Amino acid sequence: MKKKNWLMLLLVGIITLVLAACGGGDDKKESSKEKVDTNALPDTATNKDEAIKGGTLKVGLVSDSPFQGIFNWELYEDAYDSEIMAYASNSIFDTKEDFLISDKGLAKLDVDEDAKKATITIQKDVKWSDGEPFTIDDVIFPYYIIADKDYTGVRYDADLQNIVGAVEYHDGKADDISGIKKIDDHTAEITFKKISPAIYSGGDGLWGYAEPKHQLKDIKIKDLVKSDEVRKNPVTLGAFVIDKIVNGESVQFKANENYWKGQPKLDKVVLEVVPSSSAAASMKAGKYDILTSYPANAYGDIKELKNTQILGRPELSYSYLGFKEGKYDTKKGEVVVDENAKMSDQKVRQAVAYAMNIEEVTDAYYDGLRERANSLIPPVFSTYYDSKLKGYNYDLDKAKSLLEEAGYKDTNNDGYVEDPDGKEFTIKLAAMSGSDKDEKIVQFYIQNWKAAGLKVELTTGRTIEFNSFYDKVQADDKDIDMFMAAWGTGTNPSPSGLYSKTAQFNFSRYTTPELETLLSNIDSKEALDSDYRAEAFTKWQEYMSEQAVTVPMYFRTEIVPVNNRVKGYDIKYVDGAELQNLELTADAPVK
């Protein structure tokens, strides 16, 4: 047992290789160049067979580490915990297209934009899983958890502080949050300092979950995260209730007979962590009905399985190539653009973007489960996404001519262009390390750029480990001229947290007065009108594309393998699967 010092990376890489070998020689990952039509992957599992009564749904959570087991929406940090909580969710709002709050959920939202007030009305006669009535106090309680002085989570943020009186409560200057008023047992009114269109996406400080006040009220906030009420037996409003749990490994749920949409047809759900090295084998052996967090790059291992349907849906994220245009002044708290930055010439940036053959990468390395992104808004936000935007499709000639226009020519015949002053021009690229695939892809792009005459070298000479990467990018390391990274957008697409002048996460350190105007238009009062907002989004996307400071690279597709015995399952974002309607058509998963 002396091998603990081995690098995890090596392990992951090697396991992937071996897994491929273990798959009985059907390693088609590298060889299959045929592209998956991502639109053709269904989002609904079809099954016409007769359903059995009850049954246990077996869910595999693909992860190489144990889950953290914090089952509380105010405190959790890990995405795996939220996947587990989805079966016992306390979410009170339902959403429609573009993830805007609809009227179909447990609670209804009415916003008075002029008075900067929101009224939340909850349904009557709803019960918690332990039979206690669900009241408006349970909706108000989470605000008090987050604003508590002993709260140690990340959610006491600028958004929450937008609620009138939250800061005073946090600082101990008030006994209550003055902006939150209980009207009656089913209605509350929240007053905000400002209201933007984001409130309809659950932003501006509005909180989308309820917590069982009757269960949690006597626990000190600082002890909450360690308490059994959060870790072992949380009371819920969701379709299932946690019955038993093995720390970090598995959870057994039973049906919540008090579920407000009706008692689930299934008896139980058992969820287990499955190591990524054997996820495909477990699906093949009929161990699980559903695998969540299945890695899209292992699509090849399951695509031939006869007992499995593969569902797909777009991820709420994009990968991008960013250029460093300045620095972040931490004292002033704003971005300072450096006009002499190496990548300050728009034409050079565009040339870099045109020279990348992204489509070949998505076909060869990602089975088409990633596609070239044209915009910084994922297409799922159909109202805001600008489908007409062309983006930077591969065009080597254009890249070359743009460089020439900008005055970058190869003066010493070494195959690489020199800058307008005739000095050598080398671009430093920072890229994150991950699988061996990532390394190959970066090398592929470096070859692409070479073909256009651009000399690109890796910062530090190799791909960089995650923590180190963000340390360098955030500190505006002078050895980074451009970097490859990704953002998950969440359900609120407003880009100002990533691109505004004051945003620390504006990693490109780029800002112009025009950009600021475009950004503030998106979240302005006028944008409460959805047509105006859509227009504002389009203008911003066009501007960003033109400037080419943050060049979108890929949109990703999430895949979910589902066993053939599952009936009534789908992964649509709008009107998706209702857990209480899930059924099974056999006693055990089909092999």
Partner 1 sequence: MWKTVVRRFLIMIPQLFVLSLLIFILAKMMPGDPFTGLITPDTDPNRIEELRELAGLNDPWYIQYMHWIANIFQGDFGDSYTFKVSVASLIGDRGMNTLWLSLVSVILTYLIAIPLGVIAGRYQNTLRDKSIVLYSFISYAIPTFVLALIFLYIFGYQLQWFPTSGTVDVSHDKDSWGYFWSKVYHLILPAVTYAFLATTGIIQYLRSEIIDSQTQDYVKTARSKGIPMKKVYTRHIFRNSLLPIAAFLGFSITGILGGSVFIETIFGFPGMGQLFIQSISARDYSVITTLIMLYGFLALLGSLLSDIILSIVDPRIRIE
Binding positions for partner 1, rule: CB under 8 A: 1-4, 6, 8, 11, 14-15, 18-19, 22, 64-66, 68-70, 75, 77-78, 152, 154-159, 225-226, 244-252, 270, 272-275, 277-278, 281-282, 284-285, 287, 465-468, 470-472, 487-490, 492, 497-498, 503-505
Least distance between partner 1 and beta carbon 466 (Å): 7
Total Cβ atoms within 10 A of residue 382: 13
Q: Strand pairing partners for 311?
A: 560
Apex CA 379: angle with CA 155 and CA 44, to 5°?
A: 90
Cα dist from 316 to 1, 382, 433, 496, 556, whole Å: 41, 12, 22, 17, 8
Residue placing its CB nearer to partner 1 in the complex, 69 or 326: 69
Burial 280-308 (b: 16+ CB within 10 A, else e): bbbbbebbbbbbbbbebbbbbbbbebebb
| Euclidean distance between CA atoms 193 and 199, whole angstroms | 12
Structure tokens at 298: 């292992």
Q: Which is nearer to partner 1, 417 or 473 (CB)?
A: 473
Residue whose CB is less far from partner 1, 167 or 396:
167
Encoding tokens for residue 176? 């209550």
Indicate the residue among 500 and 580 with the shorter CB distance to partner 1.
Answer: 500
Least distance in angstroms from the C-beta of 217 to partner 1: 21
How, if at all, do strands 56-62 and 268-274 pair?
parallel
H or E stretch covering 321? strand 308-323
Residue (315 or 418) nearer to partner 1, CB: 315
**Minimum Å distance from CB 503 to partner 1?**
8
Least distance in angstroms from the C-beta of 591 to partner 1: 10
User: What angle (nearest 5°) sits at the alpha carbon of residue 190, between those of residues 189 and 194?
Assistant: 140
Q: Which residues of 46-85 are buried (b: 16+ CB within 10 A; e: fewer)?
A: ebeeebeeebbbbbbbbbeeebbbbbbbbbbeeebbebbb
Name beta bridge partners: 558: 313
As measured in angstroms, the least distance from the Cβ of 247 to partner 1 is 6
C-beta closer to partner 1: residue 218 or 228: 228
Contacts of 133 (CB under 8 A, 6+ apart): 125, 126, 127
8-state DSSP, 100 = -
Least distance CB 190 / partner 1 (angstroms)? 19
71 versus 128: smaller Cβ distance to partner 1: 71
The least distance separating partner 1 from the CB of residue 323, rounded to whole angstroms, comes to 19
Helical (H) or strand (E) element with 470: helix 466-474
Q: Which is nearer to partner 1, 170 or 313 (CB)?
A: 170
| CB-nearer residue toward partner 1: 439 or 465 | 465
Q: Which is nearer to partner 1, 44 or 68 (CB)?
A: 68
Rounded to a whole number of angstroms, the minimum distance from the CB of residue 492 to partner 1 is: 7
Torsions phi, psi for 70 (to 5 deg): -105, 100
CB of 152 to partner 1, least distance (A): 7
- Nearest Cα to 348, choosing from 454, 232, 503? 454
Among residues 248 and 420, whose Cβ is nearest to partner 1? 248
Burial code (b: 16+ CB inside 10 Å, e: under 16) for 339-378 equals eebbbbbebbbbbbbbbbbbeebbbbbbbbbbbbbbbbbb
CB of 336 to partner 1, least distance (A): 17
Q: How far is the CB of 277 from partner 1 (least distance, A)?
A: 6
Min. distance of Cβ 122 from partner 1 in angstroms?
Answer: 25
Instruction: Name residue 428's beta-bridge partners.
Output: 457
Measure Cα distances from 72 to 84, 224, 382 in Å. 11, 9, 31
> Among candidates 213, 196, 216, 212, which has minimal Cα distance to 204?
196
Burial of 409 (0-12, 13-18, 19+ CB in 10 A): middle
Structure tokens at 395: 């065009």
Token pair, residue 367, equals 């089975």
Do strands 334-337 and 326-329 pair parallel, antiparallel, or not at all (unpaired)?
antiparallel
Q: Closer to partner 1 at the Cβ: 68 or 119?
A: 68
Nearer to partner 1, 38 or 375 (CB): 375
Which residue, among 484, 467, 487, has the nearest Cα to 475 in the 3D structure?
A: 467
Name the minimum Å distance from CB 399 to partner 1.
Answer: 30
Please list the alpha-helical segments (H only) found in 133-278: 136-147, 166-170, 213-216, 221-224, 228-231
Smaller CB separation from partner 1, 186 or 287: 287
The minimum distance between CB 415 and partner 1, in angstroms, equals 34
